[in-house]
Amino acid sequence: MRIPAAIRASQRSPLLQVVKSAAATIGAWLIAGWVFPSQLPVFAAIAALLVVQPSVNQSLSKALERSIGVIAGVVIAVALGLLFGSPSWIVLLAIVVAMLVAWVFRASPGTGNQVAISAMLVLALGSSSPEYAVARIVETLIGVVIGIIVNASIVPPVLIAPARRDLGLLGGELAASLDRLADVLPAPQSPAKLQELMLEVRLLRPMKDAADASIAAGEESLTLNPRRSTHRADLREMRMLLDRLSPIVTQTIGMTRAYFDHYDDTIADEPAVIAIAEQLRRAGHDVRLAVQVAEVEPATMTSAIPALTAPLVIRPPSSQHWILIGSLMEDLRRIRAGLLGED
């Protein structure tokens, strides 16, 4: 029996993340237990466990969410305890009131849930006295601080490798798409080949989105990270490369779509087609070169000399193909401008 995908991640978290979460939880339990020896330090352990996130910036966000939620939940629990005493139904009332308060103040789902959970735990595990409430707030803050310290001090994660990988995959597939279009232009093609060409070029958009998401995650992982100075320049260069490649992705898809929509067997007879195909291969080379210069794929064997030189000049095409040839030429001009950094 397969475990449902809803309860399984696409990949395991790094073992280091598990170790840091365990260390923060144990440290918070021991320190809070020493400060408040009369109570089990449940709040501190939960806070430390939740605060250890994949990045220091996310840890601070989770710490703020956890702290505000606990303080609001404890205040609600104490107020209800003072008003109604300690009947069993007060726990349910506290949960409902906490959810309504979170809704009124437009709290995030995580903060709203934390308010309700904290109110419930205060009433279920202890008393509703102000002293107990203050102790639980302090206990939570102990766990939050320990979680942040552990996450910031034990090799803070820097998500450079996924960004480099996804950008390299995008650059390789973009160059391959330009080469494939160059290969099909000078010869007649079957309907199946045309469909295959469109299916392959459509992969560029999700690959571009994946590279964008990976670079954004890398940039986010550097926020408030002690190791950010070492990797900031690498991510900045990756972002600049993605900004150069993104319009070329759009133009490559547009060229392939134009060829697909306006195809007939006589296109290969156009004198301009061979020249356009050659320029597409040169563009593919320069895409690989741009990726190689940015050290996204440092092992790629590509000539260091850009292949695109002067803009292509062709003879006017026949009347039935001038729309297609003109469209290909304009997109090719934009690709050349993007690769050469021209306006």
pLDDT confidence of residue 309? 52
Reduce the DSSP state of residue 77 to 3 states and report it: helix
Domain ranges of the chain: 15-153, 161-340
- 92: alpha, beta or left, given left = phi > 0 and alpha = psi -120 to 50? alpha
Compute CA 27 distance to the chain's CA centroid, rounded to the nearest angstrom. 31
Q: Which range, of 91-100, 126-135, 136-145, 301-310, averages the lowest pLDDT?
A: 301-310
In this predicted model, which residue has the larger pLDDT, 31 or 57? Answer: 31
End-to-end CA distance of the chain: 58
Q: Which residue has the higher pLDDT, 206 or 235?
A: 206
Mean pLDDT along residues 209-233: 77
pLDDT band at 233 (very low <50, low <70, confident <90, very high): confident
Q: Is 206 exposed, middle or buried (0-12, 13-18, 19+ CB in 10 A)?
A: exposed
Cβ neighbours, 10 Å, residue 109: 9
Buried/exposed code over 222-234 (b: 16+ C-beta within 10 A; e: otherwise): bebbeebeebeeb
According to the model, what pLDDT value does residue 1 have?
46
- Report helix, strand or coil for 83: helix
Of the CATH numbers 3.40.50, 1.10.10, 1.20.1270, 1.20.58, which one belongs to the domain with range 161-340?
1.20.58
Phi, psi of 242 (to 5 degrees): -60, -40
Cα–Cα distance measured from residue 291 to residue 329, given in angstroms and rounded to the nearest whole number = 24
Of residues 166 and 306, the one with the higher pLDDT is: 166
More reliable by pLDDT, 231 or 297: 231
What does the pLDDT average to over 285-291?
85
CA–CA distance, 180 with 260 (Å, rounded to integer): 13
So what's the pLDDT on residue 226?
Answer: 64
pLDDT at 215 over 90: no
Confidence (pLDDT) at 232: 75
DSSP per-residue string spanning 203-236: THHHHHHHHHHHHHHHHHHHTT-TTHHHHHHHHH
Confidence (pTM): 0.65
Does pLDDT of 125 surpass 70?
no
Looking at residue 77, what is its pLDDT?
A: 84
The whole-number pLDDT of residue 249 equals: 92
pLDDT surpassing 50 at residue 156: yes
Closest residue by Cα to residue 75 from 46, 19, 115: 115
* Res 224: pLDDT: 65
Say how far apart CA 274 and CA 271 lie, in whole Å.
6
One-letter amino acid at 82 equals L
Residue 76 pLDDT exceeds 90: no
pLDDT score of 308? 52
Supply the pLDDT for residue 208.
92
Report residue 298's pLDDT band, with 50, 70 and 90 as the boundaries: very low
Q: Which of 54-63, 157-166, 214-223 has the lowest mean pLDDT?
A: 54-63
3-state DSSP assignment of residue 266: coil
Predicted pLDDT of residue 253: 92
**Does 114 or 1 have the greater pLDDT score?**
114
Longest CA span, the chain: 92
Q: What does the mean pLDDT of the chain come to?
A: 79
